[in-house]
C-alpha cells in the first residue's frame, strides 16, 4: 500500500500522482465481506441535499429523511430510532468514529460532509476487526478529498426548488513538500412545508505530505446546522393530502448543532518492510434542540469532547500476514434538559412533567480496545482470516441535581411521582470480545467467501442515566449480534455481487410497559442482497442493487399500548429495498442518468396491524461540460409521487414525514 508513496518521496517527484489511497481503518472495497462504495463519479450524479439520497444507491442500506437534515438509518436492520438506533451503527470519517462511545445521535450524518466527499462506503453486518463498540449492524465510512491524488480548484453555485441555494468552493495548493485541499459549502434551504428550513455549512481541510518512508496527513473538518424543524403530520395517508402535507404542527421547533474533528495520521514502512500507522484525533460536538414531540416541550442541550490514539501494524509472519492494532480514548459528555413553564396537557400528563430542570449530568469515560488477526493461505486460491476484537468502555456518571424523580425545587409530583428520574452517581464498565472468521476462495473471474462475525455495542449514556418513574438503576447489558454471511462476486460477464446473511441479536435494549429501560429483547434478521453493473453499449451502462430481508421479533412482551409477539415482523422494516440507474455518456462532455428507487411496504406497529404501502421514485440528472464551465440539472421525484419519507403509528395516530413533490436543481461550476 505504501510502496508507491515511498518511491515517490525518495525520487523527489511532484506531489500529484495518478491514484494512491492511504488507509487507516476505513472500509476497503472488494474485500472478503459485504461492502459497497460510491466514488466521486457516482456521487456527482446524486449531488445529495440529504444523506437519504446517497444511501439509496447502496445495497442493504436505508436512510429516511425527517425534517430538514434529520434522519433515521438502517443497515441490515429495521429503521433504528432513539439512543440505541445510532449506537448500533458506526459512522467513520477517514476510518475514525465521528463520536466517542455512548454519545451518538440519530442525526449524526449531518455532521459529515457528504456534499464534497471523495467516497462513501458501507460495511454491512458486524463491523468486526478494528472497529470500536457500535459497529453492530454496520459501518458507514466517508472519505475526504486528498490533495495529492485528487487536486481540484472549482467554484459551484446551485439553486433549486423550495428556495434551495448552495455555494461550494474547492481549492488545492502546494505547501512545502506536500499539498493542502480546502473544501467548503454553504446551504440555505426552504421547504414545501410551512415554517421549515435550514442553514447548513461544512468545511474540510486536508493536508498531506510524503515522508522518507510513507506519508503524514492531517484532516480538519467542521459542520454547523441551524434548522427550523417541522414535526410529523397526523392522520391516515395525510401525506397524500395537498394541504396536510404542507402543514407544520410545531412551528416553534428548532435544532442547532455543530461539530469539529481533527485527525492526524502518520503511515510508514520500517526497515523490515512492516507497515505502521499511528493516528491521533480530537472531536467536539454541541447540540441544542426543542423536544417539540414531548408534552411541555423541554429544551435539551448536549455535547461531548474527546481525544484518542490508534496504532495499526501489518507484518509478514511465517503463517501469512499478522494485523494488529490498539486504541485508547478519553471522553467527556453532558446532557441538560429544561422545561420552561407548565405543560399544555391534561392534568395527569402535565402533573408529572414539572417546569425547571429535568436532567443535568456529566459523564467522563475511557475506552481501551484492540484487535489481532492472522491471514493465512492454506492452499492456492484459498485464504483464511481469523481474529478477535476486544473493547473496554467505562462511564463515570456525575448527577448535578438531587437524585430521584422530584421536581427541581424538591417538591413531589402528583399522579404517582414525577416522570423524569435521576439516578445517583455511579460508574459502569463493559468488556466485550468479538471474534471473526472468514474463509474465501478466489476463482478466475470471481471470489466467494463465508464470514462468521460478532458485533456489539455498549449502552448509550442516555439509556443508562436518563431514566423515568421508579427506575433508579438501569442494569443494562451490551447488545450482541452474531452473523453468518455467504457471498460471491465477480466481473464477468457483468460486475456483480450476491450475498446472503443470517443474524441473531440479543440483549436488545428497549423501553418496557413500565417505562423502564431493559435489555432482554431478541431479534432475528435474514435476507439476500445483490448489486450489478453492466455496460450495454459504448455509451450506455446500467446498474442495480437491492435487498430482500426479514427482520422479526424473537421474544414476547406487553408494552402497554401494544404487544410484541415472537415471529412478527419488527416495525419500520421493509422487506424490499432496491434502486437502479441507466447512465448515458456519449463523450467526455455529456452525462445523463435516469434513476429509480423503491421502498417496499412495511408495518407501522409491533402488532403488525397497520402498514405503509411503500413507494417508487424516479430521478434524473444531466451534465454538460463547456470547457472551464460545467452546467448540470438534477430532477427529483419526476412523477410527482405523493409519498411518506417515513411513517409510523404511535399515541393512537398515523404519523408521517411527507415526501417532497417534483423538484429541480440547476448548478453552474467553474474549474481551473
Within a domain: residue 651?
yes
pLDDT at 465: 96
Q: How many CB atoms lie within 10 A of CB 606?
A: 20
Mean pLDDT over the full length of the chain: 93
179-202 pLDDT, tens digit per residue, is 999 999 999 999 999 999 999 999
pLDDT band at 422 (very low <50, low <70, confident <90, very high): very high
pLDDT at 25: 73
Per DSSP, 422 falls in state: B
Q: Provide the sign of the torsion angle of the four alpha carbons 535, 537, 539, 543, taken in this order.
A: negative
Within a domain: residue 281?
no
Cell of 31: 474485500
pLDDT at 1: 42
pLDDT at 560: 80
pLDDT at 4: 46
3-state secondary structure of 7: helix
pLDDT at 29: 67
pLDDT band at 523 (very low <50, low <70, confident <90, very high): very high
Angle 494-495-496 from CA coordinates, rounded to 5°? 100
pLDDT at 61: 96
H or E segment to which residue 138 belongs: strand 138-143
Expressed as residue numbers, the domain containing 156 is: 3-184+197-254+295-671
Residue for grid cell 404519523: 655
Per DSSP, 287 falls in state: E
Within a domain: residue 288?
no
CATH number at residue 612: 2.40.170.20
pLDDT band at 319 (very low <50, low <70, confident <90, very high): very high
346-375 pLDDT, tens digit per residue, is 999 999 999 999 999 999 999 999 999 999
Q: What span, in angstroms and rounded, lies between the C-alpha atoms of 48 and 71?
A: 14
pLDDT at 6: 44
- The lowest-confidence range among 301-310, 469-478, 646-655 is 469-478
Within a domain: residue 269?
no
Tell me the whole-structure pTM to 2 decimals.
0.93
| Per-residue pLDDT at 3 exceeds 70 | no
pLDDT band at 384 (very low <50, low <70, confident <90, very high): very high
Given a contact cutoff of 8 angstroms between Cβ atoms, the answer to whether 312 and 370 are in contact is no
Q: What span, in angstroms and rounded, lies between the C-alpha atoms of 388 and 126?
A: 12
Q: What span, in angstroms and rounded, lies between the C-alpha atoms of 91 and 131?
A: 10
Q: How many CB atoms lie within 10 A of CB 25?
A: 24
Given a contact cutoff of 8 angstroms between Cβ atoms, the answer to whether 371 and 129 are in contact is yes
240-298 pLDDT, tens digit per residue, is 999 999 999 999 999 999 999 999 999 999 988 899 999 999 999 999 999 999 999 99
Given a contact cutoff of 8 angstroms between Cβ atoms, the answer to whether 199 and 253 are in contact is no
Residue for grid cell 476484537: 389
| Per-residue pLDDT at 16 exceeds 60 | no
List, in order, residues 6 or more apart from 350 with CB less than 8 Å away: 295, 296, 342, 343, 344
pLDDT at 18: 36
List, as one string, the DSSP characters of 484-549.
EEEEEEE-SSSEEEEEEEEEEEEEEEEE-TTS-EEEEEEEEEEEEEEEEEEE-SSSEEEEEEEEEE
The residue ranges of DSSP E strands in 211-298, in sequence order, are 214-228, 233-234, 254-269, 275-290
Q: What span, in angstroms and rounded, lies between the C-alpha atoms of 454 and 386?
A: 12
Q: What span, in angstroms and rounded, lies between the C-alpha atoms of 65 and 75?
A: 15
Within a domain: residue 277?
no
Residue, of 340 and 25, whose pLDDT is higher: 340
140-155 pLDDT, tens digit per residue, is 999 999 999 999 999 9
3-state secondary structure of 240: helix
562-573 pLDDT, tens digit per residue, is 899 999 999 999
Q: How many CB atoms lie within 10 A of CB 319?
A: 12
pLDDT at 15: 41
pLDDT band at 68 (very low <50, low <70, confident <90, very high): very high
454-469 pLDDT, tens digit per residue, is 999 999 999 999 998 8
User: In terms of Cα–Cα distance, which of 47, 303, 240 is closest to 157?
Assistant: 47
% of the chain at pLDDT higher than 90: 85
Provide the domain count of the chain.
Answer: 1
Burial class (CB within 10 angstroms; exposed 0-12, middle 13-18, buried 19+) of 559: middle
Within a domain: residue 282?
no
pLDDT band at 26 (very low <50, low <70, confident <90, very high): low
Within a domain: residue 259?
no
Within a domain: residue 558?
yes
Amino acid at each position: 500500500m505504501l510502496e508507491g508513496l515511498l518511491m515517490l518521496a525518495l525520487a523527489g517527484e511532484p506531489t500529484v500522482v495518478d491514484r494512491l489511497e492511504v488507509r487507516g481503518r476505513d472500509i476497503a472495497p472488494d474485500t472478503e465481506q459485504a461492502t459497497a462504495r460510491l466514488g466521486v463519479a457516482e456521487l456527482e450524479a446524486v449531488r445529495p441535499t440529504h444523506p437519504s439520497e446517497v444511501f439509496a444507491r447502496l445495497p442493504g442500506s436505508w436512510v429516511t429523511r425527517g425534517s430538514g437534515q434529520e434522519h433515521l438509518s438502517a443497515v441490515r436492520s429495521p429503521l433504528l430510532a432513539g439512543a440505541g438506533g445510532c449506537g448500533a451503527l458506526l459512522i467513520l470519517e477517514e476510518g475514525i468514529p465521528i463520536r466517542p462511545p455512548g454519545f451518538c445521535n440519530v442525526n449524526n450524518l449531518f455532521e459529515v460532509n457528504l456534499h464534497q466527499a471523495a467516497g462513501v462506503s458501507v460495511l454491512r453486518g458486524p463491523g468486526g476487526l478494528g472497529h470500536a463498540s457500535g459497529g453492530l449492524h454496520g459501518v458507514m465510512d466517508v472519505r475526504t478529498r486528498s490533495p495529492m491524488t485528487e487536486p481540484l480548484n472549482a467554484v459551484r453555485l446551485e439553486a433549486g426548488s423550495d428556495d434551495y441555494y448552495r455555494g461550494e468552493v474547492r481549492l488545492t495548493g502546494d505547501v512545502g513538500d506536500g499539498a493542502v485541499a480546502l473544501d467548503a459549502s454553504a446551504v440555505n434551504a426552504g421547504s414545501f412545508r410551512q415554517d421549515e428550513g435550514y442553514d447548513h455549512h461544512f468545511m474540510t481541510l486536508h493536508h498531506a505530505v510524503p515522508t522518507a518512508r510513507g506519508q503524514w496527513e492531517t484532516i480538519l473538518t467542521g459542520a454547523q446546522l441551524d434548522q427550523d424543524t417541522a414535526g410529523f403530520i397526523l392522520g391516515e395517508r395525510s401525506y397524500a393530502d395537498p394541504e396536510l402535507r404542507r402543514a407544520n404542527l410545531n412551528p416553534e421547533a428548532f435544532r442547532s448543532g455543530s461539530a469539529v474533528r481533527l485527525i492526524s495520521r502518520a503511515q510508514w514502512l520500517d526497515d523490515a518492510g512492516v507497515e505502521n500507522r499511528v493516528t491521533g484525533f480530537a472531536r467536539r460536538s454541541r447540540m441544542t434542540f426543542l423536544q417539540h414531540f414531548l408534552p411541555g416541550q423541554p429544551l435539551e442541550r448536549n455535547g461531548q469532547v474527546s481525544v484518542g490514539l490508534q496504532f495499526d501494524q501489518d507484518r509478514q509472519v511465517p503463517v501469512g500476514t499478522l494485523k494488529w492494532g490498539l486504541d485508547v480514548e478519553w471522553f467527556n459528555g453532558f446532557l441538560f434538559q429544561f422545561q420552561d413553564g407548565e405543560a399544555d396537557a391534561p392534568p395527569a400528563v402535565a402533573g408529572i412533567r414539572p417546569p425547571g430542570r429535568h436532567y443535568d449530568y456529566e459523564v467522563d469515560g475511557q475506552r481501551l480496545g484492540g484487535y489481532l488477526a492472522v491471514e493465512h493461505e492454506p492452499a492456492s486460491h484459498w485464504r483464511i482470516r481469523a481474529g478477535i476484537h476486544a473493547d473496554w468502555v467505562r462511564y463515570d456518571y456525575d448527577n448535578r441535581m438531587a437524585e430521584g424523580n422530584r421536581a427541581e425545587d424538591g417538591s413531589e409530583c402528583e399522579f404517582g411521582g414525577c416522570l423524569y428520574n435521576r439516578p445517583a452517581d455511579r460508574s459502569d464498565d463493559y468488556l466485550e470480545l468479538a471474534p471473526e472468521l472468514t474463509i474465501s476462495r478466489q476463482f478466475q473471474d470471481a471470489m466467494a467467501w463465508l464470514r462468521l462475525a460478532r458485533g456489539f455495542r455498549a449502552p448509550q449514556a442516555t439509556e443508562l442515566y436518563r431514566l423515568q418513574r421508579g427506575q433508579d438503576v438501569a442494569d443494562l447489558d451490551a447488545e450482541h449480534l452474531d452473523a453468518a454471511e455467504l457471498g460471491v462476486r465477480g466481473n464477468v460477464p457483468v460486475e456483480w455481487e450476491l450475498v446472503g446473511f443470517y443474524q441473531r441479536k440479543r440483549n436488545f435494549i428497549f423501553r418496557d410497559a413500565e417505562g423502564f429501560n431493559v435489555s432482554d429483547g431478541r431479534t432475528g434478521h435474514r435476507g439476500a442482497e445483490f448489486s450489478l453493473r453492466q455496460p450495454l453499449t459504448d455509451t450506455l451502462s446500467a446498474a442495480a442493487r437491492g435487498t430482500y430481508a426479514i427482520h422479526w421479533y424473537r421474544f414476547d412482551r406487553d408494552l402497554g399500548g401494544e404487544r410484541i409477539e415472537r415471529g412478527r415482523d419488527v416495525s419500520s422494516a421493509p422487506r424490499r429495498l432496491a434502486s437502479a440507474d441507466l447512465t448515458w455518456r456519449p463523450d467526455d462532455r455529456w452525462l445523463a442518468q435516469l434513476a429509480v428507487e423503491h421502498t417496499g411496504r412495511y408495518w407501522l406497529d409491533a402488532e403488525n396491524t397497520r402498514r405503509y404501502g411503500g413507494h417508487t421514485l424516479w430521478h434524473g440528472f444531466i451534465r454538460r461540460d463547456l470547457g472551464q464551465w460545467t452546467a448540470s440539472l438534477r430532477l427529483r421525484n419526476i412523477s410527482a409521487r405523493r409519498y411518506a419519507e417515513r411513517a409510523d403509528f404511535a399515541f393512537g395516530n398515523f404519523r408521517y414525514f411527507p415526501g417532497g413533490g417534483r423538484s429541480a436543481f440547476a448548478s453552474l461550476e467553474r474549474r481551473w
